[in-house]
Chain A
Amino acid sequence: MAFLQRKRVDLSTLFSKDKHSDFHTKEYGNPFFWIFVFLLCFPLVLFIVYPTLLLFIRAFQGDNGFAVFSDVLKRYRLAFWNSIESSFFSAFLSTILAFFLAYGILQLKSNIQRICLIILSISLVSPPFISSLSFISLYGRRGLISYRLLKLSLDPYNKYGVIGMQSLHFTCLNILFFIHALRAMDGKLFYSARDLGAGPLSIVKDIVLPLLRPAFLASFFISFLRALADFGTPIIIGGRYSTLASEIYLQLIGYSDFQKTAVMNILLLFPALFSFYFYRRAMEQSDKWNGEQKGRTRPDFPANFLIRTVLSILLCLFFLFECLQYLSIFLYGFLRFDQGEVHFTLENMGELFQYNLSTMYLTLALSVITGFFGSFFSFVLAYIVERKLPFGKKTIDFVLSLPYLLPGTCFGLAYILAFNKAPFRLTGTVWIILFSLIFRQMPLGSRMASAAISSLPKNMERAGRDLGANPIRVFLDILFPILLPSFLSSVYNQFTQSLTTMGAVIFLISAKYKVLVYTLFDAINRGSYNVASLISGIMILLSLAFYLLLEGCRFLAKNRY
């Protein structure tokens, strides 16, 4: 690596821009390349395209397919616009907020930075139900903070509640997105800008923001898709404000009407397709710029006093908010409520041990496999798609985003429809859970992967190739070490998502194979909120342990290279 870095200096000037696309063509004649591509694409077809298609076909099964379509269009027009409205604002707010916070975090000393990152990583584990319970008990109409402290009587059951909760929820992940993108920048650019007399604001405006375009786009796009398919938040806090996703949930659970569910899903696909088109086009434009970046000097982000103060205040508020929420989840486990009074107790711990620990091991195993395997798969695929394939980029990219376009329950439903008969009989097995987790989280991994890969200087690979390395060596020896931080954070993201995902597995778990989040669900259902919060605590601790483990890996790898 160090050797390559020294040699790299002027290699880029040897290539004129228009020749860039040619240098991979060697592989196209190689049958093994195509076999490799086929092996990568086959699982996508089997586990994403096939189930989704089966679900959509349901829309046309039945005597009056067209009538259902027009009925759905008429009845859910408002829910449809609500979906677009709330998803747009949630994605917008969470992206902007995440950028400022990420920029602020990178201004901090490295110790405090590390603590912030740990808190952020914990907040990725947002155990369903219990976090909304804690949200309501803090900020609801009789909330601890909103009512007892600030004497406000808030009513969060409307669109602002939905947008607010979604934005805050998505922000954590987006911050991590931005931190990675910012850290990957070349510090030399800032130095030269400063030498040329640029102030901090103009450096941010002219250098940081344009270079962050892929990160902005990816963050916005992923958040938009997540918000479109999110049915949990509107159900819990939307009140009368319902979105298409929450209406789909109602049709599915309340009426078991698959035809209508499928039609509504198709409707949900339109804004998603539109945003996908927009995203892809914008990405292509920003691709043109990233050839310019080539250094690995640690960036030192410009700021002045005013920027620092504003960012610090923002950071404090945000982390206060996050800490309060997680503290209240933890505390709930050790409290006993009696006649409205609160006591401290340890007795809930005893109740916890009645639960079967095997569920925890299974969940842990599933999440770890999903994290590593899913991330590896998406990174290899993203590399092939971004750098190697002459065609089909858009198709594969779209297929990879599909799982996020369906609300979790529908993705699960599609899996049962697809895998309930031979030769693909998987229902009732542990495999169906594993595959659904891996492929449901795929959009996240592949988005992170392509953001990371597309912001890499192509020159380094070219240099490697010119020095005689074959594509696999280039991937393993040059790209992978550079991508390792992004890879590990993708592993962690997918780990936490599969630890806490509920919608997708709700139909797939069986009496034999249960996951931890279901135990949580059951505890809440039987009114044992204390036990539920202890289970959430366990989930958070598991993620923390996993996070520290990955940090250890990152540290070791850093020393090695």
Chain B
Amino acid sequence: MSHVIASSGGIAWAQAWPYVGTGYALAVGLLGGYGVWVVRKLRRAERSLPGADEGQL
């Protein structure tokens, strides 16, 4: 099972970066993209509702 581990120090960056990189990029991308989408639609909705962005609404 541990055939991938080259040295006694564990998997080095040279081998690890595709996995770690994809993981982090995906998390940031997916959540960030969702956030951008929500904010954009919120702005559009607020614009078409007079008084929507004040405290009450």
Do A and B actually bind?
no
Interface residues in chain B, defined as those with a beta carbon under 8 Å from any beta carbon in chain A: none
